[in-house]
Amino acid sequence: MNTEALQQLIQKSVAEEQQTGQLHQLLQQRLETVERIVQLPEVEALERLYEFVIRYIQQVPQMLEDLHQGAVEAGLLNYVSPILEVVEGFFMAPPKELNKETGLAALMDEAFLAHRLFEEVNDTYIMRVGQPMIPFDMTMSNVIVHSLISEPYANELEQVVMIATKGIFGEENAYEKNDKFLAFMDKKENDNLIQIAQRWPCMSTQMGLDSHLQFA
């Protein structure tokens, strides 16, 4: 896992944004759409949204490092590695669908794939073994970024996530049939992944982007 290369890519793209302003232009075009979802500050709304997107992108390599560390400590690397590899591939070897943007805008698309994959992984674990693998909620943040990417492109990326999720949880990775894995998941007090995930608060709430929407 090469999160250092990913962090360098993000830093380079942030530096380029200072010259091009490409992501700022895209966010400016989508401000009205986002304001239907969350309450943006009256002053410097664009910069607050830009800061949110940067943190959304930067969170991915940190999540990868934390999950890798937790998986090693918990003896679950065999189960977590396929997820980490797919997420890293979104950035370092992007699927063909990711050819519509460059710079930070492209990294936002790739980060969306990563965050949505983690969301789907959790949903799959809940369905198959009765509890999430990593209990963190990125729903609101993902809704915001979905609106920034906009349809129909955002829906194309959703399909990429669905295909990747099916690949991770194929029959050869039948987690719910593995006694060792089920025993580990049943010992919540020893779950290092849960402890690590507590470092990832809901970004939209933390940054004061209060939702106009209600989720069941």
pLDDT tens sequence across 141-151? 899 999 999 98
Share of the chain above pLDDT 70, in %: 74
pLDDT tens sequence across 115-132? 999 888 888 777 766 667
22-31, 41-50, 93-102, 206-215, range with the lowest pLDDT: 206-215
pLDDT at position 137, please? 73
pLDDT tens sequence across 61-105? 988 888 888 778 777 788 788 889 999 999 988 888 777 778 999
Which distant-in-sequence residues (6+ apart) come within 8 Å of 104 by Cβ?
13, 14, 16, 17, 22, 23, 53, 54, 57
Smallest CA-to-CA distance from 128 within 63, 173, 189, 72 is with 173
Which distant-in-sequence residues (6+ apart) come within 8 Å of 49 by Cβ?
27, 31, 34, 40
What are the residue ranges spanned by the domains of the chain? Answer: 3-15+22-208
pLDDT band at 49 (very low <50, low <70, confident <90, very high): very high
